[in-house]
């Protein structure tokens, strides 16, 4: 008897996934727990194993297509069995989603936006959504030839006009980029950001890093030294290892520090767990492992969730200062820039030295300016006393 298998929620809050490739083709045999399909979720590529042995009777979508959670992913049956979608059995574990007229809230809002109200505009006939597209693309409505009913300007008319004045291409964001967009937008919209800046003398930390490299032959990631410095400071300043949850503040007692990884698919944040229990060398090894997995798209979703604080080494890509966006569910992020050789003033004397440019963004709902500055000063002192 055929088994209908629906896309499960393989990541917290997952709503959809995109099929990267089918490992098992329709008509081929598959063993239980054998990888059958590779899908791209929020930020990772995941292989989904077969829920039973048998013959692949049906693919819910093709490669490159997106499938919502709880939609039919595959149907697996016995040799010689033919699957009829109209009478397909269900495994009972994931019943088909029940949809009502009130369910598609997003669709309802979009339709409402399409309702044209003559009070909203004068001039050429165009729906508000079309007018917004024209503004985005820099197209003057008066210059557009309308092709819609009743002389109305359509989306296609706007895109054609824009194409005529400047070639362009419309490309849908990848699932990874969409996830980044959603997460950063949510953080920016819900968290009142404040960013403070500072500089830390870089020579002590860089000297220690070079010394350890000479001893072991490998250079530890800069993030390892920063995490080691941050753990005691986060204990002394618990607001920075916290999160706002409604009217409550959640003070984390563990130190799971995230770090930004620049990958070909976009920025990802991997998380080193229980940093306080690891040696400097172990922190460095875990950073290397996670960064490699992220770049190779082998990192799993659990390794990118649950950070209590985040470090972003923008110096690795040549940056200095920034205004880092706080990852949702945390209260702060520290950005560390490139320590170039520059003119510096120390002890009232002008000289040449190296300093880390530091940018600290924090949640102003629970962290005031004085506490933000105190934490930044503590971070500077910690970096400068590295040994």
Residue (of 362, 367, 363, 360) closest to 383 by Cα position: 360
Q: Which residue has the tokens 């080193």?
A: 272
> Which one of 58, 121, 193, 364 is the catalytic residue?
364
Q: Is the CB of residue 193 less than 8 Å from the CB of residue 325? A: yes
* 101, β-bridge pairs: none
Q: Which residue has the tokens 């081929």?
A: 28
Q: Tell me the HSE value of 255 on the side-chain side, using a 13 A CA sphere.
A: 20
Roughly what angle, to the nearest 10 degrees, separates helices 128-137 and 155-165?
Answer: 10
**CA atoms 114, 117, 120, 123: torsion sign:** positive
Give the C-alpha separation, 127 to 117, whole Å: 8
Q: Is the CB of residue 30 less than 8 Å from the CB of residue 57? A: no
Is 121 tagged catalytic? Answer: no
Q: Give, rounded to a whole angstrom, the gap between the first and last alpha carbons of the chain.
A: 67
Give the C-alpha separation, 317 to 338, whole Å: 8
Active site residues: 364
């Amino acid at each position: 008897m055929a088994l209908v298998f629906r896309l499960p929620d393989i990541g917290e809050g997952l709503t959809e996934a995109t099929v990267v490739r089918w490992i098992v083709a329709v008509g081929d045999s598959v063993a239980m727990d054998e990888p059958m399909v590779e899908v791209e979720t929020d930020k990772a590529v995941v292989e989904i194993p077969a829920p039973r042995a048998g013959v692949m009777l049906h693919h819910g979508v093709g490669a490159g297509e997106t499938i919502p959670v709880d939609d039919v992913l595959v149907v697996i049956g016995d040799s010689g069995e033919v699957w009829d979608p109209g009478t397909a059995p269900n495994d009972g574990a994931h019943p088909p989603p029940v949809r009502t007229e009130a369910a598609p809230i997003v669709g309802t809002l979009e339709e409402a936006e399409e309702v044209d109200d003559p009070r909203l505009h004068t001039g050429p006939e165009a729906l508000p959504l079309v007018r917004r597209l024209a503004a985005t693309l820099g197209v003057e409505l008066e210059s557009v030839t309308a092709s819609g009913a009743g002389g109305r300007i359509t989306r296609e008319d706007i895109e054609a006009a824009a194409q005529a004045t400047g070639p362009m291409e419309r490309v849908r964001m990848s699932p990874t980029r969409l996830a980044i967009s959603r997460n950063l937008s949510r953080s920016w919209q819900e968290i009142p950001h404040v960013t403070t800046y500072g500089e830390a003398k870089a020579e002590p930390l860089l000297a220690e890093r070079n010394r350890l490299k000479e001893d072991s032959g490998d250079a530890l990631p800069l993030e390892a030294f920063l995490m080691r410095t941050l753990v005691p400071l986060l204990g002394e300043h618990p607001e920075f290892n916290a999160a706002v949850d409604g009217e409550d503040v959640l003070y984390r007692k563990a130190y799971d520090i995230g770090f930004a990884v620049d990958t070909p698919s976009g920025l990802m944040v991997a998380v080193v767990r229980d940093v306080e229990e690891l040696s400097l060398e172990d922190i460095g090894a875990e950073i290397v492992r996670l960064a490699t997995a992220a770049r190779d798209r082998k990192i799993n979703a659990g390794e990118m969730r649950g950070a209590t604080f985040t470090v972003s080494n923008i110096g690795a890509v040549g940056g200095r200062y920034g205004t880092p966006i706080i990852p949702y569910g945390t209260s702060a992020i520290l950005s560390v820039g490139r320590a170039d050789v520059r003119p510096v003033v120390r002890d009232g004397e002008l000289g040449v030295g190296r300093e880390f440019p530091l940018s600290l963004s924090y949640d102003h709902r629970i962290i005031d300016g004085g506490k933000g500055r105190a934490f930044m000063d503590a971070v500077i002192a910690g970096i400068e006393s590295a040994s």
